[in-house]
Amino acid sequence: MLTQNNIILQHNQNSKKATVASTRNLLRNIYNASTVEATYFWGQNSNGVPVDMIKYIDTDGTEVPISVLKENAFDASRWAGTRKPAYYVGTWPPNSIHDLLGTPAKEEECASCRAIMERCGCDYPTWADEMQDFFVDKIRISSTPGKGHGLFSRAKIPQGTALGEYTGELVPKALYMSMHDDETQYVADIDIGKWKCVGGKLTTRRPSCGIDARYRGSFLRFLNHSCDANSRLAVVRVGMGARVLITESLRSIDKGEEITIDYGSEYIRPGESCLCGSKTCRYRRIEKVDDVGMDDAESEHTKETANEGDDSDVSMHSDHSDDDSGSEYGHGNGRVCRGFLI
């Protein structure tokens, strides 16, 4: 079996100029788990050509390549002995991904066919394959000034498109809530267990767990924050066998545009500035006040956070302590999702 590196070397020796078709084939080859020894994420140039393997820098300084996960991973030993969350319906402790995410209600929307009732006959493995192709053909991972790596569209994407599944290792909420900020920045929330449907309405009490994409996950772990985001996270299902966390476009996304989500009100901590660059950045006010005194700005920000920091928003932690580009440690999209709008 070849390594991704060897495939890229061979490709570069054989073709002098990258074309759209050759780049597509190259990417499909390096991300095809059945023909490559191990699949890791690569940073790409503006044409989509892979140029450097991306490394996550651990808290002890170790550089770790980031594995591509098409589907979530699960380790039962992490769940043994953990407390069953309030309102959880299902097997506890869970023995498989299916125990946690395999029993969506038929009323939950299907990401594949968008049907909400019995009409849906979708198949999760087929959809996961399609999403992997979508990533390889339509998205590129590139470094962004001051924000580490980010995601960019390589084609025009219509509003309401499922961009892929946010995958990683499923971890109990109690475990990731006790982690250090630097360790939880790639953890997103997903609802678990069976949901009750009373009078046609789904229960609003939904326990959740974390999807930890630090060392392995889908390309969506590279999503950066914007106060004017063009995409959002949503919990949906695919067929009746799998609940998934997806990113979907909120509006039409142009070719070359960065794909972003809103990390929520806890993302920027007092004294930090937002790098989203949007005209409607809700933290611009704070930066402007720098000249006239920070006191007012900080108290205003604290108030805002206190009012909005509830479980109904996407909410993520920032990590601007190292704002270099190209290094995972300096990644500007540090985040913890502690809940999101569906």
7, 68, 69, 110: which one binds Zn ion (CB under 5 A): 110
Query: Judged by CB under 5 A, does residue 120 bind Zn ion?
Result: yes
CB of 127 to Zn ion, least distance (A): 8
Q: Which of residues 121-150 bind Zn ion (CB under 5 A)?
A: 122
Q: Given the complex with Zn ion, which of 28 and 106 has the nearer CB atom?
A: 106
Which residue, 27 or 229, has its beta carbon nearer to Zn ion? 229
What is the footprint of Zn ion within residues 254-313 (CB under 5 A)?
274, 276, 281
Binding span for Zn ion by CB under 5 A among 2-10, 101-109, 146-154, 221-229: 221-229
Among 4, 23, 72, 112, binds Zn ion (CB under 5 A): 112
Please report where in the chains the tokens 């919990």 appear, as a residue.
Answer: 235
In whole angstroms, what separates CA 297 from the centre of its chain?
30
> Looking at 49, 105, 113, 342, which residue binds Zn ion (CB under 5 A)?
113
- Whole-number minimum distance, CB 135 to Zn ion, in Å? 20
Judged by CB under 5 A, the number of residues near Zn ion is 9
Among residues 27 and 274, whose Cβ is nearest to Zn ion?
Answer: 274
- Which one, of 316, 309, 126, lies nearest residue 224 by Cα? 316
Cβ nearer to Zn ion, comparing 156 with 251: 251
Q: With respect to Zn ion, which residue has the nearer C-beta, 123 or 311? A: 123
Restricted to residues 158-197, the positions that interact with Zn ion (CB under 5 A) are: none
Which residues does 249 contact at the CB level (< 8 Å), separation at least 6? Answer: 157, 158, 159, 160, 161, 163, 230, 231, 259
Near Zn ion by CB under 5 A: residue from 227, 245, 286, 297: 227
Rounded to a whole number of angstroms, the minimum distance from the CB of residue 110 to Zn ion is 3
> Closest distance between Zn ion and the C-beta of residue 281, in Å?
3
Judged by the rule CB under 5 A, the positions of this chain that interact with Zn ion are 110, 112-113, 120, 122, 227, 274, 276, 281
